[in-house]
Amino acid sequence: MRSSSTQYDVIVMGVGGIGSAAVYHLARRGLDVLGLDQYNIPNSIGSSHGDSRLIRLTNHEDPEYVPHVRRSISLWESLEEEYGEQLLHRTGTVDAGPADSETVRGSLKACTDYDLPYEHLSAGELSEKFPGFELPQEFEAVYQPDGGFINPTKCVQAHVELAQEHGATTHAHETVVDWESTANSVTVETDRTTYEANHVVVTAGAWTQLLVEELEETLTPWRVIVGGFQPENRSQFTADSFPVFSIEDEQQSYYGGPAAGTSGFKFGLVDNLEDVADPNDFDPRPTEKERERLRTVLHENAQRYFPEGAKSIKRLKTCMVTHTPDQDFIVDYLPSDPNVVVGAGFSGKGFKFSCLMGELLADLVTESDSAVDIDLFDIDRFQTMPR
């Protein structure tokens, strides 16, 4: 039980995609939780905003994450039920490219290893099923019916609103400036006041390495762009008629999905433009170099594979993602401070897992068994330095 308004069981630093889920899962377990964010909750400055984030059960780049996607889908469904609004749009997913591409091979491996339902299609069969696709004849595609997309802004909102119903407190526009832990508690200093908690959870996205010194060399924030296009034939590119997709060609890999909200037909490149020296200086306005990349790389390739989907440019969105060196996540206690738990380094692919990461972070705080294997997310693999 809270003894004063500055004392909590757990303080969550950063209420974005992952932090909002942590606040929710901790509050559901009856803990007295405070979530702090330096900006709006939800905000459009960190990594968790916009109309869609893809969720692919095949997860062709890391098939060992299939159980984690499965658990995430089941958690999104429970959240939807509790919130009473649709969060997950099951469009199905397509992974396509030359037969020997990592995308097609990885996707087939995930489907066979984990017994997922799928169809292995030629480029012609894919166009018959989804007329929006016009891929080269030599491409193959794996269609898996269970994936789709989720709306990140709405998911953050759902987690936070339900967390509050379970008794959590959240403060927007309150910045954590420092913290210090002792054997039994952690003191958290913000730009408004000082709090005490038994545990803290650091889910500060691109700012995590500013709050956790020993992760300074491990986490790198990157600036990425994603394009939105106006389809010529709108009905072929809605969430009811068109799947989310990954495509690999000789040059690069792309991802995207149906027009959702105000974003238009989504088409992005799986690469990072440049690293962000200081996330506090991140300027979301597109640079001239990014506009040029939108016109050439993004629009030209979107038109090549989806001639009816990318009639004109609708928008260019910039965002930060935060990578670890091996692009696996960090969800662990700090070796130097066992009452500090970190969820970070989601390497441009974390949103689909945010509900699960919230659950795993709550498991670490409450020392509960986790539904999935978390050894992949061990912090020790980076040989962190003592604080």
Ligand X SMILES: Cc1cc2nc3c(=O)[nH]c(=O)nc-3n(C[C@H](O)[C@H](O)[C@H](O)COP(=O)(O)OP(=O)(O)OC[C@H]3O[C@@H](n4cnc5c(N)ncnc54)[C@H](O)[C@@H]3O)c2cc1C
Residues that bind ligand X (CB under 6 A): 13-19, 36-39, 43, 46-48, 53-54, 175-176, 203-207, 211, 224, 226, 319, 321, 346, 348-352
The answer to whether 312 touches 298, Cβ cutoff 8 Å, is no
Dist. CA 178–CA 153, nearest whole Å: 27
* Cα-based angle 345, 270, 371 (whole degrees, multiple of 5): 45
CB nearer to ligand X: pick between 69 and 142:
69
Percent helix, strand, coil in the chain, to 5, is 30, 30, 40
Nearest distance, CB of residue 137 and ligand X, angstroms: 28
Q: Nearer Cβ to ligand X, position 31 or 276?
A: 276
- Sequence-ordered list of residues with C-beta below 8 angstroms from that of 332, at least 6 positions apart, any chain: 341, 342, 364, 374, 377, 378, 379, 380
Task: Give the shortest CB-211-to-ligand X separation in angstroms.
Answer: 6
Nearest distance in Å: CB 16, ligand X: 2
Question: Is there a contact between 95 and 103 (Cβ–Cβ < 8 Å)?
Answer: yes
Nearest residue to ligand X, scored by beta-carbon proximity: 16
> 47, 387 in Cβ contact below 8 A?
no
| Least separation in angstroms between CB 52 and ligand X | 7
Residue 30, class by beta-carbon neighbours within 10 Å (0-12 exposed, 13-18 middle, 19+ buried)? exposed
Q: Which is nearer to ligand X, 112 or 194 (CB)?
A: 194
- Shortest separation between residue 98's beta carbon and ligand X, angstroms: 23
Q: Which is nearer to ligand X, 16 or 231 (CB)?
A: 16
Closer residue to ligand X in complex, CB, 195/346: 346
Q: How far is the CB of 243 from ligand X (least distance, A)?
A: 13
Q: Which two tokens stand for residue 367?
A: 């020392």
Decide whether 236 or 263 has the Cβ nearer to ligand X: 263
Which residue from 21, 47, 58 is spatially nearest to 244, judged by alpha carbons?
58
